[in-house]
Each structure stands twice: as C-alpha cells, then as structure tokens.
C-alpha cells in the first residue's frame, strides 16, 4: 500500500494503491505508521510523500462517502483524515509532498498539510468536493487560503476546476517545479527548500482583513444564488470565513460541521451516486472475456451535423478518420467546421496549436466512397430515414472488410429493421451519439439480440477511448434516453392542451433540474423532430396514446421552432431568447381540451416528472438497460439533467416507491395508461 525506503537522509513514502491511490482508512493508518517509523529512524532528516509518475492520488476513496448513513459516520471520516494530516503537519521531521499527475481533493489536502510541495509539470491540482455536493473535510478550507490567499482558495473550491502545476506555483500552492519525480531529482530539490513554518501557522496571505470582508460578502452572495438543494458552496465559504476571522481551529470545527451537513443532503448522495453510476456503465458482465477488435481507422459515412461531430470526436482522441459524404460540398463544410472548432479551442487556451493541427491532420475527407474500405469501424451517420440508412449500410457492407464493425448512429430506428437487408447483420451495432457529438459525453451502444459480442465490445471500447461514457442498451425503439425523454417533452404539449401556461411548464422543467424548459428545448431541437420521434414511439408503445394536437398544428403552420423563427415562442434573427408568440398562443387556445381545468405548478411538475418515472420503470421492466443506475447515468449525461437529482429512477426512490405508485395510479385514472404502474 505504501513503499518505504530511505535515501540520503530522506525517508520516501510512495503511495501504491492502484488504480488511483484513493485514500482509505487503511492507507491513512499505513501513512501514519510510516511517519512514526521515519521519525524514529536517526538516519532520516526529512520525509517525502510521493505517488505514481502520473498519479499522485484521486483523493478520498469515494466509496467512503457512499456509505455515510449518519452525521456521526461523516464526522468519523473527517476526524480520521484530520488526525492523519495533523500527524503529517506535526511530524518532528518535516514532510514534503511530491506531486505528479492528478492530485485531487483529499490528496491535495494531504499535500497542503506537508511543509512543502514540489510538483512535476504534468501535475493537475483540484479541490473537486463541490462537484460531489460536499465541502472539503480534511482541512482544505483552512490550509488552502493560508497558501494561496482567500480569493483564490474560494475560487478553487467553488469551481472544483483543476489547475496546472505552473498555475499552482504562481499561486503559491506549490513551492517549486521539478522536471520529474525521480529520487535524484527529488533529493536535489529537497536540499534547496527553505525553512518554513507549518501551513496552519502561515499568515503572509492573510493580512488584508478589509479585503477579505468584501470577498466573503461577494462569495456568500454568489454561493447562495445557486440551487437551494446544493448547500456545499455556502458551507465552503462559511468554513473559510470562520477560519480566517476566528482561528484555524475554529475553522476546522466549522469545516467538519459543514462536511456533515453537506453529506446529509440528498443532493450530495445523488451526485456521488451519479459519479459511480457513470463509471459502472462500462462494466458489462454479459461481455466478460469478450475481446474488442483493434481499431486503427474509423470510417464515417455522412457528414451532416452528427457525422461531423462524430468525426471530430475521434480525431480529437487521436484516432484517424476517413470520412465521406455523397455531397462534396457537405464534406468541405464539415472539414471547415471541425477546423474552426479546434481553432476556437486553441484561442480559448484549451489545446495547443500543434495539437489542433495534428487532430485536423488525422481527418481524411475522401473523394470516393471506396476509401472507407480501410475502416475497422465504419459508422453511418446519414439522414434519419430507414431507406437512406439501409442503403448506406449496404454500401458499407460491400466496401468494408468482413471483420470490420459497422455501426449506425440512428436515434430512433429499430436496428432489426436496418439489419434485415444486410448480408452479415451480426456485425451491426448502434452507436447513438448525442448532439453536439464532439462534446456530449454519452453514447448509447445498441445491442441487437444476435449481434456478435466482439462487435458490441468494440463499439463500447471505442466510445470509452474517445472519452465518452457508453451505456449498453437493448435494441428497443427510442433506446433509453429518447424513450424516457420524448414522453416528457410530449407531456409538456399535452399540458398546454389542458390550459397550462407555456412559461409555467418551462419553469417546472427547470425546477426539476433540466438546463432549460421542455418547450424551449423543443423549439431549439425542432418541433418536427418531436413529431417524428413521438410517431415512432407511439407506433410501438400504444399506451403512449395519440399525437399531441398542438405539435401537429404547429408543424402544419410551419412553426418549427428557432429554425423558422417561430415555435411555441417567437425568436428574432440571431437571438435565441424566447419571446411570446401570439400566433402559437392562438393555436394553443384553439387546441384546448374542452372542460379541462388549467393545472397549477404542482400538477405541471408532477405530470412532467412522473411521465418520465412511468416510462423509466417500463424501460427497466423490459431490460433495456443492464441496471437502473445505467438509466440514471444516461439521463444525466444525455439530457443535462442536474446530477443533484440523481436521475429518474433515483428520484423515484428518493420520493419513495409507495408514493410513486400512488401518484402514478392517480395520474393513470385521470390521464390514461401512459401513467400506468408497472411491475
Ligand atoms: N475514489 C475511489 N475510486 C476512484 C476515485 C476516488 N476518489 N477516483 C477515481 N476512482 C476510480 C473510478 O471509479 C474508476 O474505477 P473503475 O476502474 O473500477 O471503474 C477508476 O478509479 C478510474 O477512474 P476514471 O474516472 O474511470 O478514470 P479517469 O482517468 O477518466 O479519471 C479521475 C480519473 C481521478 C480524474 C476521476 O476519476 C475523478 O475525477 N475522480 C474523482 C476524484 C474526486 O472527486 N476526489 C475527491 C475526493 S476527496
């Protein structure tokens, strides 16, 4: 767990707990034992704590947070960490941390308790607790401001963003940059370190008392402006304030209280659940022992919006792409867009110019379709139409090697219908990317009953390779995200038919945790798209009921959303702001169901959310996903649903399954089978 040796008076403690040196109670115990051993060894003058070459540590083991049932459990975690870090800070032989690669959360708190910090240039330092809905619990809110100043400390803890070794050096979080973490380099650097007091006694960054008051007031205001469910930002600011205005010890006590309060919220539990759920999706017991096929080149057929984004995602991840579109102009536009997107990333400082050039150079825009023959994985991303996709797959089949994997990026079509015309249908898999494909983190990997396991494993591996989260789904209309989300969007229109105000419907979608309301979203995506996908779902799932009248009428009137300047709302050229649309309001008024009483906010929220809950449980019942948490991960990643909500199944569990059953039964009586309770 920890390697220990002594070199030239330096006791080296190297964390060795793969894969990420997550800090457990056992690791902390071992660390403290080794500190004592070093203290007792007369040949040791100083102590160094190191990690792996590209990984210092990912911080506290997240599973410690998953099992915090009571405030006492949370306090026990804080106290265990604090005791270990105090032992580091109070060590009679000063301790230096040598940081390389990821140094996150509890690991950075460990480093801050050391007397000095050396960092290799590849180090990435962050305090990501806020992303899990937590407050740092091992002294971070106290030691960080003493090292970098109050403002920078609050910024780091409220954003959770990682900073580079250089930035950490500029801020004073790191004392020196070193070329590598080899022992000779460390010995040389340690010899040059100045004498230094303990972090908790450092005061040089804390002199501007008036300035601090302003910073605290501003930060508290900013923190309070966030979602009321997520308390960690407010708690973090308050813990820092107490530590600066009162004392280190008082701040530490306030921090521990804050950690316990945060840990008790469902927002934190749900965020931690989503963190784990997103990593579980890649574990597919049904594919154990199946080898993914090697992929050197990816082919993309069709360079519309989706094909372009998919091609970009692969080249950005270092995989060569050969792309083709029957329309030569579309191909050129696609290349221009990819180039412009990389250029933007360069100007934002996210990548270096040479990385952008290398990525663009990996893309070959083919003049002939036959160039796709070299692809090990060929993805068709042509127009979402059965015949067009069948034709595209037939062409790929005739071109590509028999062992190449063929993927379709369909969002709605049943893969069996696509496979029907193929000679080797078992090599067809679905890779459903979400728009924009280069940035959206989710890919649904659709598995047909008779798909070759190696083909499915290859698609999964490739999605992981390009940094996406793959979710394996059964081949069933709508797969998982659209299956659950489209009914929610449709319910928004059914609510309008019952007299709900569009603004209230949108407000309740945002209240639940979506980045925008359902009507605004449909206006953005296109009302015709909702009409089309709903028709596909309805034809398979008769309990979805008939079409939404308002959707049909708006499409008839060519009010398709932002792309036509009018949808539920009206848009001015070059402006995405939704404004009232009197023409749409007229259609909505004419489509009102007779005798329906306008629903209030609670009823709107209930119908929107429980429509998803009902569909999610049907989806689980049909084994569309391997586990419920896959559905939740997919909804968070595919729709932008806030992770504090934990997803749809998780939300149902949070409000209580008996309550869910009662509400669904009531809604089913009033609105029909689409709300019916399933097994
Ligand atoms: N505790 C326990 N396990 C952790 C962990 C942690 N803090 N951080 C990562 N892991 C595990 C992951 O669950 C995954 O396990 P698996 O292989 O069994 O699925 C493995 O380490 C690799 O993580 P993954 O996220 O898939 O790799 P990555 O290279 O994309 O990202 C990190 C690595 C560390 C950047 C990312 O996992 C991360 O941000 N972790 C959270 C760190 C955090 O919030 N720490 C604060 C705690 S105080």
State whether residue 361 is helix, strand or coil: helix
**Ligand 1: distance of its center to the CA of 60 in Å?**
10
Q: Tell me, what's the pLDDT at 585?
A: 97
Angstrom distance (rounded) from CA 415 to CA 418:
5
**Ligand 1: distance of its center to the CA of 20 in Å?**
7
Quick check: bond before 436 cis, omega within 30? Answer: yes
Angstrom distance (rounded) from CA 677 to CA 679:
7
Sheet holding 10-15, edge to edge: 2-7, 10-15, 46-50, 95-99, 116-120, 176-178
Q: Tell me, what's the pLDDT at 679?
A: 78
User: Please, how many CA atoms are within 13 Å of residue 393, restricted to the half-sphere of its CB?
Assistant: 29
Q: How does residue 421 score in pLDDT terms, banded at 50, 70 and 90?
A: confident
Q: Which of 331, 318, 323 is nearest to 300 (CA)?
A: 323
Q: How does residue 282 score in pLDDT terms, banded at 50, 70 and 90?
A: confident
| 209 has a pLDDT exceeding 90 | no
If 0-12 CB within 10 Å is exposed, 13-18 middle and 19+ buried, where does residue 467 land? exposed
| 68 has a pLDDT exceeding 90 | no
Q: What is the pTM of this model?
A: 0.94
Is the separation of the CB atoms in 39 and 100 below 8 Å?
no
The response to whether residue 130 sits with its C-beta less than 6 Å from ligand 1 reads no
Catalytic residue among 89, 129, 235, 397: 129
Q: Tell me, what's the pLDDT at 71?
A: 87
**Element (H or E) spanning 272, and its range?**
helix 266-280
Condensed to tens digits (0 to 9), the pLDDT of residues 571-610 reads 998 889 999 999 999 999 999 998 888 999 999 999 999 9
> What's the average model confidence in pLDDT over 269-292?
94
The response to whether residue 578 sits with its C-beta less than 6 Å from ligand 1 reads no
Condensed to tens digits (0 to 9), the pLDDT of residues 237-257 reads 999 999 999 999 999 999 999
Angstrom distance (rounded) from CA 371 to CA 366:
6
Q: Which of 647, 548, 571, 554 is nearest to 274 (CA)?
A: 647
Closest Cα to atom 18, ligand 1: which residue? Answer: 279
The response to whether residue 132 sits with its C-beta less than 6 Å from ligand 1 reads yes
The response to whether residue 51 sits with its C-beta less than 6 Å from ligand 1 reads no
Reply yes or no on whether 673 is catalytic.
no
State whether residue 564 is helix, strand or coil: helix
DSSP secondary structure letter of residue 478? T
Q: By percentage, how much of the chain surpasses pLDDT 90?
A: 94
Q: Closest ligand 1 atom to the C-alpha of 136?
A: 48
**Element (H or E) spanning 47, and its range?**
strand 46-50
**Ligand 1: distance of its center to the CA of 53 in Å?**
16
| Total Cβ atoms within 10 A of residue 575 | 9
**Ligand 1: distance of its center to the CA of 62 in Å?**
8
Angstrom distance (rounded) from CA 228 to CA 223:
10
Condensed to tens digits (0 to 9), the pLDDT of residues 346-393 reads 999 888 999 999 999 999 999 999 999 999 999 999 988 899 999 999
Structure tokens at 401: 């090697």
Catalytic residue among 109, 235, 255, 397: 109
Q: How does residue 676 score in pLDDT terms, banded at 50, 70 and 90?
A: very high
Reply yes or no on whether 204 is catalytic.
no
Sheet holding 469-474, edge to edge: 363-365, 321-324, 298-301, 377-380, 405-408, 428-433, 442-447, 469-474
| 286 has a pLDDT exceeding 90 | no
Angstrom distance (rounded) from CA 132 to CA 66:
11
Q: Which residues contact 594 (CB under 8 A, 6 or more apart)?
A: none
């Amino acid at each position: 767990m920890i390697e220990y040796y002594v070199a030239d008076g330096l006791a080296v403690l190297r964390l060795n707990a793969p894969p990420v040196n997550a800090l457990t109670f056992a690791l902390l115990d071992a660390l403290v034992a080794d500190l004592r051993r070093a203290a007792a060894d007369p040949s040791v003058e100083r102590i160094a704590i190191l990690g792996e070459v590209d990984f210092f540590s990912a911080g506290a083991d997240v599973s410690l947070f998953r099992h915090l049932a009571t405030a006492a459990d949370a306090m026990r975690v804080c106290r265990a960490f604090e005791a270990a870090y105090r032992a580091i800070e109070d060590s009679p032989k000063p301790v230096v941390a040598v940081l390389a690669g990821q140094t996150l959360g509890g690991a950075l708190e460990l480093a801050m308790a050391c007397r000095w910090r050396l960092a290799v240039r590849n180090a990435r330092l962050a305090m990501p607790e806020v992303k899990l809905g937590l407050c740092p619990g091992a002294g971070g809110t106290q030691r960080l401001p003493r090292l970098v100043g109050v403002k920078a400390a609050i910024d780091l803890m409220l954003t959770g963003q990682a900073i580079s070794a250089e930035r950490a050096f500029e801020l004073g979080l790191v004392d020196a940059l070193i070329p590598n973490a080899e022992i000779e380099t460390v010995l040389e650097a340690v010899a040059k370190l100045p004498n230094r007091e303990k972090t908790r006694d450092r005061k040089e960054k804390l002199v501007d008392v008036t300035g601090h008051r302003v910073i605290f007031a501003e930060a508290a205001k900013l923190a309070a402006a966030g979602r009321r469910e997520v308390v960690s930002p407010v708690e973090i600011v308050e813990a820092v304030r107490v530590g600066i205005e009162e004392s280190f010890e008082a701040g530490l006590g306030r921090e521990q209280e804050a950690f316990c309060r945060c840990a008790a919220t469902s927002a934190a539990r749900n965020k931690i659940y989503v963190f784990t759920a997103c990593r579980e999706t890649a574990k597919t017991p049904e594919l154990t022992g199946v080898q993914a096929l090697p992929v050197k080149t990816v082919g993309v057929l069709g360079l519309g919006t989706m094909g372009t984004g998919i091609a970009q995602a692969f080249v950005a991840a270092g995989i060569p792409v050969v792309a083709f579109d029957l329309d030569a102009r579309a191909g050129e536009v696609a290349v221009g867009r990819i180039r412009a997107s990389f250029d933007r990333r360069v100007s934002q400082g996210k990548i270096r110019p040479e990385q952008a050039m290398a990525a663009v150079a990996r893309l070959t825009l083919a003049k002939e379709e036959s160039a796709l023959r070299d692809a090990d994985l060929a993805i068709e991303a042509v127009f979402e139409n059965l015949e067009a996709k069948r034709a595209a797959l037939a062409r790929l089949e005739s071109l590509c090697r028999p062992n190449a994997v063929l993927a379709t990026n369909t969002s709605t079509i049943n893969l069996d219908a696509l496979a029907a015309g193929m000679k080797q249908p078992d090599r067809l898999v679905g890779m459903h990317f979400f728009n924009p494909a280069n940035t959206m983190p989710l890919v649904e990997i659709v598995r047909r009953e008779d798909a070759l396991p190696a083909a499915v494993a290859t698609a999964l591996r490739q999605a992981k390779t390009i940094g996406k989260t793959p979710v394996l789904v059964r081949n069933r209309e709508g797969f998982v995200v659209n299956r659950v989300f489209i009914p929610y969007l449709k319910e928004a229109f059914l609510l309008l038919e019952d007299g709900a105000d569009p603004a209230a419907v949108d407000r309740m979608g945002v209240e639940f945790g979506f980045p925008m309301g359902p009507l605004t979203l449909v206006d953005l995506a296109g009302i015709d798209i909702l009409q089309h996908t709903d028709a596909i779902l309805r034809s398979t799932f008769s309990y979805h009921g008939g079409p939404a009248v308002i959707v049909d009428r708006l499409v008839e009137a060519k009010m398709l959303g932002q792309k036509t300047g009018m949808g539920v709302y009206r848009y001015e050229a070059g402006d995405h702001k939704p404004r009232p649309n009197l023409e749409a309001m007229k259609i909505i008024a004419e489509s009102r169901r007779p005798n329906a009483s306008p629903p209030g906010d609670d009823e709107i929220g209930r119908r929107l959310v429980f429509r998803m809950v009902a569909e999610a449980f049907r989806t689980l019942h049909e084994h569309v996903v391997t586990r419920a948490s896959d559905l939740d991960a997919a909804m968070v990643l595919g729709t932008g649903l806030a992770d504090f909500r934990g997803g749809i199944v998780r939300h149902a569990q949070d409000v209580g399954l008996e309550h869910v059953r009662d509400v669904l039964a009531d809604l089913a009586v009033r609105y029909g089978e689409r709300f019916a309770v399933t097994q």
